[in-house]
Structure 1
Amino acid sequence: MNAPSQKSSELAPELTEPVLWKITLGELDEKMGVKIVEESVERVVATMPVEGNRQSFGLLHGGASLAVGEAVGSWAAVIHASTLGKTAVGVDVSATHHRSAREGLITITATPIHLGGTLTTHEVLITNEAGQRLCTLRITNLLMKRKH
């Protein structure tokens, strides 16, 4: 689990507060068709098509759910970390698959459970277009000083 490499929480010369980090999709995110809907300290929301992310039985791949869930949860942690002039790296992720999907668009929503100065924990819900819960993830990130 690698931290995003973008340096966007730098202090602007005329500002006294750090600039919030803005999400930049990685290569895997782009290949999976991830789209950002909302990004803030309080909530990060993204969507992803099931098509192109299915396993051999035609179901949404569990690994795709984990990959996108970890990405969205980590982005949420980095946004919080940027308010402290820090970055975040994932240290733990776990998931429970409740149901699957064969088609459509899934929505991935990360909300904070704990926003500390050293650790963050986020709950990440993956739902289908009917609002049914497909997967629940919990991700913990370590906040660290940014390396310039």
Structure 2
Amino acid sequence: MSASPEPWRIVLGELDEKMGVTVLEQSAERVVATMPVEGNRQSLGLLHGGAMVALGEAVGSWAAVIHASTMGKVAVGVDVNATHHRSSRTGTVTATATALQLGRSLTCHEVVIAHEDGTRLCTVRITNFLKDRS
């Protein structure tokens, strides 16, 4: 991105707010956000895999939207996949989306979700299509 002020700022959606997401850093190349485990657990008391996927999709999409905005375009998700490595019962997780490809028509971001103790819990990859505003 250029040295000018960011043209776009992340605004949390309803699901992000319900999950307790907090954005720490934002750019097309990297978005970092945290989420508490508490309030996002499944019936066995573990962090819900779907919550991790939702968090991963959110940070990857935000990065794509920031990149798209620099070209007057919008980003729409076309693929998301996740590998769950571990889970957690307590604490906070951090999702870091890192750009793998920032093109004129597609973006791809890898999102690593890690527990506060540094353990990788999930790896998400998201691809977004960049389209002209209609």
Is the pair's TM-score, using the shorter chain for normalization, greater than 0.5?
A: yes
Residue identity matched to 2:73: K
The answer to whether structure 1 residue 24 and structure 2 residue 11 are counterparts is yes
State the TM-score, normalizing by the size of structure 1: 0.86
Residue identity matched to 2:109: H
Match in the other structure for 1:38: 25
Unaligned runs of 5+ in 2: none
The 5 Å alignment of 1:101-140 reads 101-140=88-127
State how far apart, in whole Å, the 2-side matches of 1:75 and 1:104 are. Answer: 24
The 5 Å alignment of 1:1-148 reads 20-147=7-134
1:127 partner SS: strand
Percent identity over paired residues: 71
RMSD: 1.3
Residue identity matched to 2:83: T
Residue correspondences, number? 131
1:18–1:83 contact (8 Å) kept in structure 2: no
Unaligned runs of 5+ in 1: 1-16
1:100-136 deviation line (CA, Å, top 9, x unaligned): 0100000000010000000000000000011111000
1:74–1:141 contact (8 Å) kept in structure 2: yes
State how far apart, in whole Å, the 1-side matches of 2:122 and 2:80 are. Answer: 13
Q: Which of the two has higher C-alpha Rg?
A: 1
Structure 1 consecutive aligned stretches of length 4 or more whose deviation exceeds 4 Å: none
State how far apart, in whole Å, the 2-side matches of 1:29 and 1:121 are. Answer: 21
State how far apart, in whole Å, the 2-side matches of 1:42 and 1:71 are. Answer: 14
CA positional deviation for 1:20: 2.2
State the TM-score, normalizing by the size of structure 2: 0.94
